[in-house]
Structure formats: C-alpha cells, structure tokens
Amino acid sequence: MTITQILIIVFFTLLLAILKRGRDSFLLIASILTIFWLQPALPIRGFDFWIPIATLIITIFTWLITADNKLNRKNIFTLVIIAGIILLLNATRYFSFAQILTPSRPPQIEITLIIFLIFGFIFFLLMKYNASFLTFGLILLLSIFLILKISAWTIELSSLLRALNNQSLTNVSAFDIRWLGFSYVAFRLIHTIRDKQAGRLPSIDLSEYITYVIFFPAFTAGPIDRIERFIKDLRQPFAGLNTELFFSAGQRLLIGLFKKFVIADTLALIALNDTNATQVQSTGWMWVLVYAYAFQIYFDFSGYTDIALGIAKFIGINLPENFSSPYLKPNLTQFWNNWHMTLTQWFRAYFFNPITRWLRSWQKPLSMAMMILLTQVATMLLIGFWHGVTWNFTIWGLWHGLGLFIHNRWNDFTKAKSAEWANTSFRQSLLNVSGIIFTFHFVALGWIFFALSSPVTSWQVILKLFGVN
C-alpha cells in the first residue's frame, strides 16, 4: 500500500469510529471494496477485476464447506450485498469518472452475470446438500498456491489467459498474474478447514467469515490472525473512539508509518539487490549493503504490521503482534519465535506439530536428533516456498532449517557447561551479547539468498563479504 492509500483508509476508519454505528457492515463492505482497490493493474484484459472476485468466490466456497448453519436470512442477505457491490463496480465501466476503485476498466457486465449464475448454482448445491468437500478445498487452495509460486506454471496460465483474450503471447510473463493477498488469504482459509476437520471451528456466519479472511488492514501483509480470536473482538460491542484508544492506536499507526516510509524506504536506496550486488567490489561496502537489507526488510515488514494493528485498533479489533525485537535475540530459535510470529505459529500448529506426532507414531520411531532435523528443515523449506518456489528461497529455507537443528544440538550439548561458566552477571551479559551478534549475522547472511534471485550472484556476494574475489 502507498502512503496515500493508507491515509484514505485511516480517514474512513476514523469516520466510522467517531460515528460508532454500523461497524460490522462497514468492515464487510470496506474489506470487499479494498481488495478491488488495492489489486494492481494487469496486462491480461479484465483479469485485475476477476482476481478480487476469485478471492470472494473461494472465501465463500470455504465458508460453505465449513459452516453448519448456512440457510438463514442473514447469510443470504450477505450474498446479496456482495453481488450488489460487484455489479456496481462492474457498472463503472460505463462511467469513466467513477472508475476509482478498480485498477482498469471492468469487463462487460454480461460476463459477470454469467459467472454469477454458474457459481450461484454451485453455491446453492453446497448450501442444500451438506456434503464434505474439506479435502477438496485444501487441494484447491494448495494447487492455486503452487501455480502462483512456480514461475513456469504461472507463465503457462498467463499464456492460456492471453490466448482466450486474443492477446499477444510475445510479452508473456509470470508477473502477468499478481493475485494480491492470496498467500495470507490461503493461510486463513486452510486454518479454518483444518480446524473444522479437528472439530474446533466455532459457528460463524458468512459476513463474519468474509470480514475475517479479507480484513482490510491485514489483507496485504498480515498478521495471520486466528478466527476464534478475531470473531471474539468482532462480536464485542463497539463503544466508539475515546481519547485513550485514539492516542494508543494513533501512536502505533505513526510508528508504523515512520518505520515503513522513513527508515525502510531510505534503507532501500542502499540495500542489497540484484543490481548493486554485481556493481559493488569493496568488502566494506558489501557489508553495508547486507546490513542495510537486513534492517530494511525488518522495518518494512514490522512497519506494515504496526500500521495494520493501529488501524484495526481504531475500530476495536486487536490484531496479534508479529514482531518482538527479533534482532536482539541470543539464538536462532528465539529469533524465529519473535520474527513474523503469526507465520511461525501457523506452521507450528498446522505442520510442525502434526508431522512430529506422525513421526513419533511409527512402530520404529526415528532418533530424536533425526526427527528434529527432518521437521525443522521441512518447516523452514515450506516457509521458503511460501515466499516463492525458487532455488534461492530453497537455499534460504535450508540455511535456517539446518541452523535451527545445529542450535538445538549445540544447546543440548553445552547447556550444563554454559550455566556453570556464566556464574556472574558479567559473564551472562557476555554470553548474551555474543549470542545476539552471532545470531544477527547468521540471519543477515541468510537474507542474501532472500534478497537476490540467483544462487550464483548470492555466492559471489558471500565471497566478496569475506574478501575473496
């Protein structure tokens, strides 16, 4: 989001907070409008209009396969509101002055009506017949995720869509398809499907579910909230904006704006990237680039989180924290317990813990060391693939997975000796400071693979850092 878009969102959020009334309806409508407004323009005709609709379709589909009480007046009314908003946005194609909420001119409204009829019939069947499509829902979400993350598959899809639109295939690119917010949407949807399978998903109406999935302050950059926690806040009566709430939320918002648009954007001018990685020859300046990127990605990401938490707090929604001074942690395990916390907690709950239990259930269970190695490396590889299925993200995932395993083994081996040695406050401080310095540099070196697109370039940067030409 740009600073202009953030300020517009803040203005309307404060307006709602002052008026006090209609919060739930505002959040639903504002969230739907925002996913159209923030979606970037795409070269494939009409696709930047269809992607937000696809977000709504898969959200409604997931609600239908997880909800218990579907056929009631409130849920049907919500469907009518969604359809009405989409048709009104579609109708702006006939009024050029009104096209401010879509990135390009919407497609012909007749096509939208046909889509409505097709998916309306499918939704009707899902509402009428209580068949279980939970596994199908997981496969669908993971398939879309892989198509968007594997460049070769994205290019194939782009070629197909261009051909259907009678557009040239000359400039086909993986960047033709940018589904804004899908990674975070997918995590929220998978979370509710898995909780439904485990029998712990609370009863939620359609309006609440859509608001949770595409909640506009957290739609593009998180944090990844749990539905039971979010719904608890949403169902609390909203008393409106008071002085204490205004200053608390406003302070968080201003801190986020300063982090993102002052510190992070300034550091971005000198942070490591594919261009300056090959231009800089000096060891000292290469370290400056690496340090700049390490702090730029932190202030950028944590800044967006602070902005989301501040905006949500204005209207009584307390989103979970996502960062807690991760660069000041003395080991890699604590770093990951405090960096993008909602992401690591999600993977811990829905991958790490289940696969650990599965490995322990074997008739001939693996040794503890082998089990830790497999689970930690697999978890970090998946976190890497979540950012993109490339060689560099694979190496980054292995870097942290192996780092976590080595720290775990080293900690078990040296715990008693370290406690015996660090028997004074000075020695404890020395041990803590040395751990912080070592952990920060381990993470910073890992960011090289995250920042660059090629393993070859990444290796050249590492060699330059240590004075090897």
Which of 131, 43, 35, 145 minimizes the C-alpha distance to 89?
A: 35
Output the DSSP codes for 418-452.
HHHH--SHHHHHHHHHHHHHHHHHHHHHHHHHHH-
Q: Which two tokens stand for residue 187?
A: 């995590």
Upper half-sphere CA count for residue 19 (Cβ side, 13 Å): 11
Q: Which two tokens stand for residue 254?
A: 């201003």
User: Residue 400 catalytic?
Assistant: no
| Burial of residue 318, with CB atoms counted within 10 A of its CB: 0-12 exposed, 13-18 middle, 19 or more buried | middle
For residue 60, the one-letter residue type is I
User: How many residues does this entry show for the chain?
Assistant: 469
Measured CA to CA, the distance from residue 19 to residue 29 in angstroms comes to 16
Cβ-based neighbours of 58, under 8 Å, separated by 6 or more: 140, 141, 144, 185, 189
Which of 43, 47, 42, 30 minimizes the C-alpha distance to 101?
A: 30
Sign of the four-CA dihedral 420, 426, 427, 430 = positive
Angle at 217 between CA 214 and CA 222, to 5 degrees: 75
Given 340, 387, 400, 441, which residue is catalytic? Answer: 387
Upper half-sphere CA count for residue 329 (Cβ side, 13 Å): 16
Contact yes or no for 378/401 (Cβ under 8 A): yes
Distances (CA, A) of 382 to 186, 195, 395, 396, 397: 14, 20, 11, 11, 7
Catalytically annotated residues: 387
